[in-house]
Amino acid sequence: MTGQDAEETRAEAPPNDAYRPSLLFLAVVTVVSAAADLASKGWAKAALSGADKGRAKSIEVIKDHFDFIYTLNPGGAWSFLRSLPENLRRPFFLFVSSAAIVFIVSVYRRIHRDQWAMRWGLPLALGGAVGNLVDRIRYGSVIDFIDFYVIRNGREIHWPTFNVADIAIVAGVLLMALDTFLSRKTRGGSGEPVPPAEPLTASPAPEAPLPPGEA
């Protein structure tokens, strides 16, 4: 092999320092968010379910706006599909949760170095998905306990009760949306700014031919 051939081979070889997202970072953020969710649910079950005295209770955090109250949600986020029969609902949500976990991990392995929002968003969403999946395996439902509401004309209007896993999932989705927005500001996600479009200028109109004899 000549020296020139060796140089061409080295030039064509892939770089050794190609970016690979840290699986340790994915695991740490996922475990921390899932642990925070499961710990808060354990507290809610012990403090609010009424298992010790047979009667559920609530804790007022902000009067007329924010309570902690124990509920079991057999459906999805914000009680989605909770009326579906149990023999269909449970396997459906177990499948969806498992598929979401596999999808998130596969997407994480392909992110680029400059995708900081996606690097945080995916493990947050994964931790929330794991926390809710553990509930579905243990109870067939998800523990919700965060209750926001307002009072209008003497009537309480409640936002659907949710949990820490839902907060992590929403935060993760918002970060992923931010990453999509930022990617549109770059060319092909390479980090290079998209050059501004050149202004359109009107072409000069062709001059009318002079009548014969005036040329």
**67, 135, 144, 147: which is the annotated catalytic residue?**
144
Average pLDDT of the chain to the nearest whole number: 80
pTM summary value = 0.72
Measured from the Cβ of residue 46, the count of other Cβ atoms closer than 10 Å reads 11
What residue ranges do the domains of the chain occupy?
A: 21-50+57-184
Q: Tokens representing 148?
A: 């926001």
List the one residue out of 147, 166, 142 whose CA is nearest residue 157: 147
What 134-139 contacts at long range (C-beta under 8 Å, 24+ apart), as own/partner pairs, is 134/34, 134/38, 135/41, 136/90, 136/93, 136/94, 136/97, 137/94, 139/72
Q: What pLDDT, on a 0 to 100 scale, did the predictor assign at position 73?
A: 85
In 3D space, the residue among 27, 21, 22 whose CA is nearest the CA of residue 124 turns out to be 27
Q: Are 48 and 58 in contact (CB under 8 A)?
A: yes
Percent of the chain topping pLDDT 70:
71
The beta strand positions in the chain, using DSSP E, are 58-62, 66-73, 142-152, 155-158
pLDDT of residue 16: 44
| DSSP tag of 155 | E
Q: What is the mean pLDDT of residues 100-129?
A: 93
Q: Which has the minimum average pLDDT: 49-63, 92-106, 127-141, 195-209?
A: 195-209
Is 166 labeled as catalytic in the residue annotation? yes
- 143 φ, ψ to 5°? -80, 120
Q: Mean pLDDT across the stretch 13-41? A: 85
More confident residue, 15 or 63: 63
Catalytic site includes residue 114:
no
